[in-house]
Structures are given as structure tokens and as C-alpha cells.
């Protein structure tokens, strides 16, 4: 399907970092839909790294600024990683105009609302056309709009029916 620029690359990179790997999840909180907000780590000891920060630094994620934003103790670190990617022009920041996920989602919702409005208007217009046609047919002496014309069937084209049993 379609999506924002670099959406496939971001998904593949995140899979590369985490799929079938042992990770540690640090719960930060829950959003307004009760979804988990977390920081994900991979590795142990000196080899441990913050997956969220890597995605930000690679230019494949942005810091969330929406309702109920929660960063735990990582706010300044995440902002620094995002700034590095932006200043280096990595991935999403290489675009002439970067559309943030919240703006992308908003534009999708607006497009969906416009489409629903159009479909509703078309249905309303179709119904009005049907009413106008029905009134015209009534004025012309038809009691209801005719959908199918009856055609006469000659005796030779009729099949003989067996007698009805009672």
C-alpha cells in the first residue's frame, strides 16, 4: 500500500533491529487508547542500544508531539537524535518538505471525510432524481415507474405445462 516516503524502509529497518531478536521493553505509559508507550532496547551490557533513538537518528522516525505524549526520561535524548538526522538530511529529512506523521494522518482523515461527504451528496442527488422521475411518471398516468417492459409471448414459444396435481 501507499504511505509516507520511507515507510517501507522504516518498517524493514525496524524489523532488522528487532525481529527474532531479544529485546527489553521499558514501559513509559499508555496513550488515550490504552496502547503501550515504550522504549525498546536491544542487546546487553555495553552492547545495549535504544532502538527508538536509532530509528530517530537514522531519519526513519520522528518525535511524537501529539496528545498524551510521553517520553519518560528520554525526551532530550530523543530530540537530539532527531535533530542530528534533520541536520544531516537523512531519509525523511532529505525531502524538500517533510510531512510529519501527524500531518499525514490529518490529511488522510480530511480526504476520507471529503470522500464520505461526496458519496453522501451523490446518494442524496440520486434519491432526488428518483423522486422527480416518480412524480413525472405519476403525472404521465403511470402509477409507479416501470422498470421492465412486458413483452408478449406467442403461443408457439410457450412450453406446455403438465397438469397440476391436487
Instruction: Give 102-128 pLDDT, tens digit per residue.
Output: 666 676 677 777 778 877 878 788 887
Tens-place pLDDT, residues 43-73: 998 899 999 999 999 999 998 876 667 777 8
Q: What are 70-86's pLDDT values in tens digits? A: 777 888 899 999 999 99
Residue burial 58-92, b: 16+ Cβ < 10 Å; e: rest:
bbbbbbbeeeeeebeebeebbeebbebbbeeebbb
Percent helix, strand and coil across the chain, each to the nearest 5 = 50, 10, 40
Q: Break the chain into its structural domains and give their ranges.
A: 7-97, 100-135
Q: What is the pLDDT of residue 40?
A: 95
Is domain 7-97 given the CATH code 1.10.10.10 in the classification? no
pLDDT number for residue 129: 78
| Contact yes or no for 74/39 (Cβ under 8 A) | yes
Do residues 5 and 103 touch, judged by C-beta distance below 8 A? no
CA 3 to chain centre: 9
Distance CA 147, CA 127 (A): 16
Number of H helices and E strands in the chain, helices first, is 4, 3
113 phi and psi angles, rounded to 5 deg: -65, -40
| Span 137-156, average pLDDT | 61
Percent with pLDDT over 90 in the chain: 35
Amino acid at each position: 500500500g501507499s504511505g509516507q516516503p520511507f515507510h517501507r524502509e522504516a518498517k524493514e529497518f525496524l524489523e532488522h533491529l528487532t525481529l527474532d531478536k531479544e529485546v527489553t521493553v521499558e514501559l513509559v505509559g499508555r496513550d488515550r487508547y490504552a496502547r503501550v508507550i515504550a522504549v525498546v532496547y536491544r542487546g546487553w551490557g555495553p552492547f545495549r542500544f535504544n532502538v527508538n533513538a536509532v530509528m530517530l537518528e537514522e531519519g526513519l522516525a520522528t518525535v511524537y508531539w501529539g496528545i498524551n505524549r510521553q517520553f519518560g526520561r528520554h525526551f532530550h535524548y530523543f530530540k537530539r537524535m532527531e535533530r542530528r538526522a534533520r541536520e544531516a538530511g537523512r531519509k525523511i529529512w532529505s525531502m524538500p518538505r517533510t510531512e510529519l506523521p501527524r500531518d499525514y494522518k490529518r490529511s488522510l482523515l480530511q480526504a476520507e471525510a471529503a470522500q464520505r461527504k461526496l458519496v453522501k451528496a451523490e446518494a442524496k442527488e440520486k434519491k432526488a432524481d428518483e423522486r422527480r422521475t416518480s412524480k413525472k411518471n405519476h403525472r404521465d398516468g403511470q402509477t409507479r415507474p416501470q422498470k421492465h417492459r412486458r413483452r408478449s409471448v406467442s403461443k408457439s414459444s410457450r412450453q406446455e405445462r403438465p397438469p397440476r396435481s391436487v
